[in-house]
Structure 1
């Protein structure tokens, strides 16, 4: 654990908050300010010459400083990843390239209740192609009475769609229930019917071990501000498998920062994409937005890599799960199988409590509350994420007491 490498928000009693919201916004690494200040100093001292002068040769190849760290976290080769754009922008860019409906192969499959931004993107892409989400979007959800989705049912739905399926787009971890999906099985099923396969790893990158290259998916996207601690609104990340590294013929929405570096500044109208994932960049690299990642990514290596963090995460999450199971008046939406959850436990709370998040913060616990989206429900859901880089077992043990005080104030 590298808790001492992060700033922990101060709680109402002057002690650190119990911060269980890394699934929404990761904490600030202490070194982030130094990396950001270094680029501010270069801007101050060099102006535009900061692009080719200063630390590590300037800003022109800034994205390359992040590739090895990101690749290690998502299980890819450095040229297969890039930090650029934003998650939903990257999702649209990937679908421009990899969702190419033709003939009867025109459908997309995704989990029901996916993060709204993914739903917005998919619906708009279908309509852009003149398709109807009512007919051309397949959504797979839990069986009645269940909160998680069986892998066998996902695979069966993919196989049933068969040669009508153009794209499998699936989350790594379901943002709402915290379910960790069997991504290699989903990728294999998608490839088996001839569809392209993409993953949204917003809640998985930096949370669970991933092997994108070996799983042979076509693309993946994620944000860098949750478990990767890149700061609010940090640029997103994307993966494109190496088999597409040098495919200038692929359809794409191009931008000049995706142009190959050798002749980018000749300013010609013809677009020649950079090799690898870098060829899907659009605008000039946001140096100040990327700088905090240079502070965060090395911490994953120092912690022993994703497998070591996963082991610690399983311990923390298992303890939190057991503590919350014993709490009266709530229901756990996250599954009991450690293999099918990451660093998140989602707790259903009866009765809509829009002020519950603030009440808990006043007691010293920062977590995430969402009005429940289950049919026929009038409650809400608390999402608690014990991030293994900075949360402790002692903090986990205190969570039920604070929840009890907020949920049952009369009994307390």
Structure 2
């Protein structure tokens, strides 16, 4: 990736719009071959410029063949597939297939992760364990404008403990005139409320602004006050480097259908730090339990007493949905082959190239008061404070129209009301030509309308 970065640095702003540069950048991209591992969507036989991997990742070609194999096992062996599997993926333990890959992506030990459930249902399960309010320590600190599901979940757990969410939930807001949160303001909020805080939970990458939070700093500071710390990594997993074990994060949840390309509504995942899995498995644990969290060595003895699996797997409740697990397995093979460090290096280059093109546009403004035919970027410009996403803010009266026009021009991003269009070049399959096409299309739309 060093040649790619050097070439990007040499391109002058005046020559930036030249499409030949995007072709040369793709030729320098050591990960470019991974694009052919995916089905690229088309419309009327024309290839779509797909910049929506932050909402739903594209389908790896190997997913179809791997799922076809599982369907064949179901067809020919039925229940025996749980134990006697021709492809060495017995259903009784298929969740083990992805542990190593997930652990590498989130920076964990294999026993600290589990593929299970859906993001919000997993969050509810872990809040049972980690939100333990007392008369003095009962407050939850999180970001204002959190993803709705997180907001609903935290509200509901306050109610379940007979607490008033208006009192129990502390929402950290951006400063006046700013779109993103300052880390210092989060730390100051923790200091202000100190020993009243029971739980701190932020999103790793904010769904609306694309801001990457300083996970290690916030985690360390919150734990110094005795709070549990969790993270919603829906937009961070497979997007940015994570070191959850090293950072001493207590727990995390994520979905896998965005950057992890696991299929619509695909199986989600959890992380629980080994220090917590050990303490929570004692007699005073707080955990919802089901038979798939039972020790796999004795699970099928069907005994009446729960004996927990090792690590995060003890929080599993139901047996694994095989087809969505295998879809995740297919995509994770590509992550293993590419490596997160390489993907991050390309992502920084792709997103940086897109930012430079957008800021070169005559329609770009650095003002927060955008007018018709204008846009600004509310995602942080510092690459260490963002992932593979730029959130473009438009006048709210025109945003939906511009997004529709982008789709007509073959560019798929997505809108988030009231003012944002999100464009996310995913490094596994997006190219520099994709980025150039998208920005050129946006410029033409703003010129014409």
Mapped contact 1:172–1:203 kept (Cα < 8 A): yes
Deviations 1:285-335 (A, max 9, x none): 1001111111111211211x2111111101110111122223311111111
CA distance in 1, matches of 2:414, 2:358: 15
**Counterpart of 1:349?**
394
Mapped contact 2:399–2:420 kept (Cα < 8 A): no
CA distance in 2, matches of 1:173, 1:409: 34
**Counterpart of 1:212?**
244
Counterpart of 2:343 (choices 309, 312, 325) is 309
SS in 2 for 1:398: helix
Deviations 1:34-87 (A, max 9, x none): 111111111111111111111225111111000000000000011100110100
Verify: 1:403 aligned to 2:434, yes or no. Answer: no
Q: Which runs of 4+ in 1 moved over 3 A?
A: 352-358, 405-408
Mapped contact 2:399–2:421 kept (Cα < 8 A): no
Deviations 1:345-377 (A, max 9, x none): 0001111443544432221101111212xxxxx
Mapped contact 1:352–1:371 kept (Cα < 8 A): no
Q: How does 1:203-242 map to 2 (within 5 A)?
A: 203-242=235-274
CA distance in 2, matches of 1:142, 1:395: 32
Verify: 1:24 aligned to 2:58, yes or no. Answer: no
Counterpart of 1:288 (choices 305, 315, 323) is 323
TM-score (norm. length: structure 2): 0.87
CA distance in 1, matches of 2:381, 2:304: 55
CA distance in 1, matches of 2:122, 2:442: 37
**Counterpart of 1:388?**
427
SS in 1 for 2:448: coil
Once the 2 structures are TM-superposed, how far is the Cα of residue 255 of structure 1 from its aligned partner? 1.4
SS in 1 for 2:158: helix
Higher deviation after alignment, 209-218 or 259-268: 259-268
**Counterpart of 1:99?**
131
**Counterpart of 2:145?**
113
Q: How does 1:106-185 map to 2 (within 5 A)?
A: 106-185=138-217
Counterpart of 1:361 (choices 379, 385, 407) is 407
Q: Which structure has the larger Rg over C-alpha atoms?
A: 2
Equivalent pairs, count: 401
Give the root-mean-square deviation of aligned CA atoms.
1.3
Once the 2 structures are TM-superposed, how far is the Cα of residue 144 of structure 1 from its aligned partner? 0.6
Once the 2 structures are TM-superposed, how far is the Cα of residue 216 of structure 1 from its aligned partner? 0.3
Once the 2 structures are TM-superposed, how far is the Cα of residue 118 of structure 1 from its aligned partner? 0.3
Q: How does 1:250-261 map to 2 (within 5 A)?
A: 250-261=285-296
Mapped contact 1:248–1:273 kept (Cα < 8 A): no
**Counterpart of 1:298?**
333
Once the 2 structures are TM-superposed, how far is the Cα of residue 100 of structure 1 from its aligned partner? 0.4
- In structure 1, runs of 5+ residues without a counterpart are 373-379
Verify: 1:82 aligned to 2:110, yes or no. Answer: no
Once the 2 structures are TM-superposed, how far is the Cα of residue 189 of structure 1 from its aligned partner? 0.7
Once the 2 structures are TM-superposed, how far is the Cα of residue 131 of structure 1 from its aligned partner? 0.7
Mapped contact 1:114–1:174 kept (Cα < 8 A): yes
- Structure 1 pair 356–270 and aligned structure 2 pair: CA distance change class (3 A): farther
- In structure 2, runs of 5+ residues without a counterpart are 1-30, 364-373
**Counterpart of 2:302?**
267
Once the 2 structures are TM-superposed, how far is the Cα of residue 384 of structure 1 from its aligned partner? 0.4
**Counterpart of 1:377?**
none
Mapped contact 1:317–1:345 kept (Cα < 8 A): yes
